[in-house]
Amino acid sequence: PLDVSHPPHVTARPRSVVTSSRCELLQRVPSATEAIRRIGSTDPSAMLYDAWEAFEEGDVKADENLRRIGAGDDLQLAEAVSACISAAGSEFDPSMQKKYLKAATYGMGLCSDFDATEFVDT
């Protein structure tokens, strides 16, 4: 929450809100993050992230959900992995970065021809 006990000052570049006690950076939510986190999203990247979360919780349906993403279409799974990597790269919170990268790693296990260079560079 933004402290509004003193009038904030908004700057144009970089977009930020400055108060007497803190500075908040404002940015548009990156498209990869939006695709994963949007409520009710059926984007392959959201399905991959959900499958990884289910796997972490020990849900036996996690593997089935993962296989449904790439059922006969390795390209769709590769795009989901890339979106998770992209979301991690644009995230400021280290715990969320780790979650996105773990989801990407989980998907890479079934993606036969994914170039891991993108993952390593992140």
Instruction: Give the amino acid at 1.
Output: P
User: Is residue 8 within 8 Å of residue 15, measured between CB atoms?
Assistant: no
Q: With left for phi above 0 and alpha for psi between -120 and 50, is residue 39 left, alpha or beta?
A: beta
Question: What pLDDT does 34 receive?
Answer: 92
Q: Look up tokens 């994914």; give the residue.
A: 114
Q: What share of the chain is helix, strand, coil (3-state, %, to 5)?
A: 50, 5, 40
pTM: 0.76
Could you tell me which residues are beta bridge partners of residue 18?
9, 23
Which pLDDT tens digit goes with each residue over 85-109?
999 998 888 999 999 999 999 988 8
